[in-house]
Amino acid sequence: MSLAIDLASLLAPDRVSVKAADLDMASHDESSCPATLPDAVAWPLTTDEVSRIVRYAYEREIPVTARGAGSSLEGNPIPVRGGIVLDLSLMNRVVEMHESDLQVTVQPGIVYNQLNEQLKPHGLFFPPSPGGSSDVATIGGMAANNASGIYSVKYGGTRDHVKAATVVTGAGEILHLGTRSRKTSSGYHLLGLLVGSEGTLAIATELTLSLVGVPQAKQQGAFAFPSEKLAVTAIAEMMRYGVDLAAVEFLDRRSLAALNRFQGFGLLEQPSLFVEVHGSAQMVDEVFATATALCEEQDGRLISLPDGRHPWEVRHFTTRAIQALNPQAKTIRTDMGFPISRLPDVVEESYAIAERHDVLLHTFGHAGIGILHALLREDPADTVRWAAANQAKDEVVAFVLSVGGTASGEHGIGLGSRKYVQQEHGEALELMKGIKQVFDPKGILNPGKIW
């Protein structure tokens, strides 16, 4: 109780809670990782308030876990050691538009889609759209996970767009990292370290993002293929030839079947690519024609989605549709990243491993940037199948690492992928632990994550 009283005196009584419903809300994310209740939830409004709380926690060695929307998929914001959850959702303002510089400064709790709504009148947008969570994910959470999305193949991931940030370290110190210049060679890239650190080094309270202009013209289309291998080979070829796609998403036939069951979309249940091109009207036509020709070389054909549906309207539901297939089950997922030429091998090997373990795997992802998710749904109560699915995941990740890939392309390590970090980073992991110590001397920020 004294924690709540202390926090209320640092903020305001109505922005601190120890109510069961609030603790429960802050105890989980969208992963299958077990929930853990914090001791209190606080909703700061300013950088100073965040600093005050962290200083208080630093003196008493109380864990502090930042939280955006809790839409992570690896247990990233779960407060595994209890303590305070700092819910940043009320810090959701655009602080300043820098229209002529194609930049915006925002508070971390602003939601991705809401930011883009506010950017529309300026003819600008923030591109790393995180597919199915763009309606909830906050910019702070996206930066902390270095999220990416459907448009990352053309415009990059979140790290590529964070130019500057105000952050609060684990000792409660306020730092300003980065500048608004487009390019810098000044000093260590501390800002780059912060992005992707999952709230374990500092808490971001303001972020300056680079934006891009809304394209003059867009063209979208869907291509269906006779096999998964041919579909992903088409992607690898399009990337090899430098076809300037704004988005190219892969969905295997099982993901499409799940979407049909979920929403009755009536989609053709054949491995498919959803594609979007941005540019001038003439350029869009040319690029789309090249993409079509390369897809046709792999026996792909241009199809219309039923009822004139928009590809992203369908794609948005992929994760939820797979989860809905078996609501009692839990998801075991991979978030692999790899060199683009290995995409066909990764897909083939993933199916082969799943078959060997007799488990059902769904694959989809931002395949143009070499990111693929393989989702397995099993009931943990069925210990044999649960173990088989986990073993299949380990083998898929081991294969990806063996071809120069990573265990996390975009979701972060959180809790779910910790066991692969040593293998992926080797001795560099000790250096990471040392860096954590510098930013967070008492280890109070989101403890228990990444390793």
Ligand X SMILES: Cc1cc2nc3c(=O)[nH]c(=O)nc-3n(C[C@H](O)[C@H](O)[C@H](O)COP(=O)(O)OP(=O)(O)OC[C@H]3O[C@@H](n4cnc5c(N)ncnc54)[C@H](O)[C@@H]3O)c2cc1C
If DSSP codes are grouped into helix, strand and coil, which group holds residue 226? coil
Nearest distance in Å: CB 352, ligand X: 26
Residue 383 CB coordination number (10 Å): 10
Q: Is 41 in the site for ligand X (CB under 6 A)?
A: no
For ligand X, the closer of residues 72 and 233 by Cβ is: 72
- The structure tokens 């601190």 sit at 16
Produce one character per residue of 43-55: b if its CB has 16 or more CB atoms within 10 Å, e if not. Answer: bbbebebbbbbbe
Stretch that binds ligand X, among 16-24, 147-155, 248-256, 290-298 (CB under 6 A): 147-155
Residue 45 one-letter amino acid: L
Nearest distance in Å: CB 289, ligand X: 28
Separation of alpha carbons 103 and 99, rounded Å? 6
Stretch that binds ligand X, among 11-19, 69-77, 97-105, 216-224 (CB under 6 A): 69-77
8 A C-beta contact, residue 424 and residue 401: yes
Would residue 384 be called left, alpha or beta, if left means φ above 0 and alpha means ψ between -120 and 50 degrees?
A: alpha
Residue 225 one-letter amino acid: F
Q: Is 67 in the site for ligand X (CB under 6 A)?
A: yes
8 A C-beta contact, residue 126 and residue 134: no
8 A C-beta contact, residue 377 and residue 330: yes
Q: Is 78 in the site for ligand X (CB under 6 A)?
A: no
Phi–psi pair at 329, nearest 5 degrees: -80, 170
Q: Is 363 in the site for ligand X (CB under 6 A)?
A: no
Q: Residues near 159 by Cβ (< 8 Å), separated by ≥ 6?
A: 143, 146, 192, 195, 196
Q: Is 75 in the site for ligand X (CB under 6 A)?
A: no
Binding letters toward ligand X, positions 188-227, x by CB under 6 A: ----------xx---xx-----------------------
Q: Is 30 in the site for ligand X (CB under 6 A)?
A: yes
8 A C-beta contact, residue 203 and residue 58: no
The residue count for binding ligand X (CB under 6 A) is: 38
Binding letters toward ligand X, positions 310-349, x by CB under 6 A: ---------xx-----------------------------
8 A C-beta contact, residue 275 and residue 300: no
Q: Which of 38, 108, 127, 344 binds ligand X (CB under 6 A)?
A: 108
For ligand X, the closer of residues 210 and 319 by Cβ is: 319
Nearest distance in Å: CB 65, ligand X: 5
8 A C-beta contact, residue 443 and residue 83: no
Q: Is 249 in the site for ligand X (CB under 6 A)?
A: no
Question: Interaction with ligand X in 255-294: which residues (CB under 6 A)?
Answer: none
Q: Is 29 in the site for ligand X (CB under 6 A)?
A: yes
For ligand X, the closer of residues 279 and 365 by Cβ is: 365
Residue 425 one-letter amino acid: H
What's the token pair of residue 240? 């090899």
For ligand X, the closer of residues 298 and 406 by Cβ is: 406
Q: Is 71 in the site for ligand X (CB under 6 A)?
A: yes
H-assigned helices in 325-446: 343-356, 383-402, 421-425, 428-439
For ligand X, the closer of residues 165 and 388 by Cβ is: 165
Q: Which of 62, 147, 222, 332 binds ligand X (CB under 6 A)?
A: 147
Q: Is 31 in the site for ligand X (CB under 6 A)?
A: no
Interface positions with ligand X (CB under 6 A): 29-30, 65-73, 76-77, 88, 108, 130-133, 137-138, 140-142, 144-145, 147-149, 198-199, 203-204, 319-320, 410-411, 446
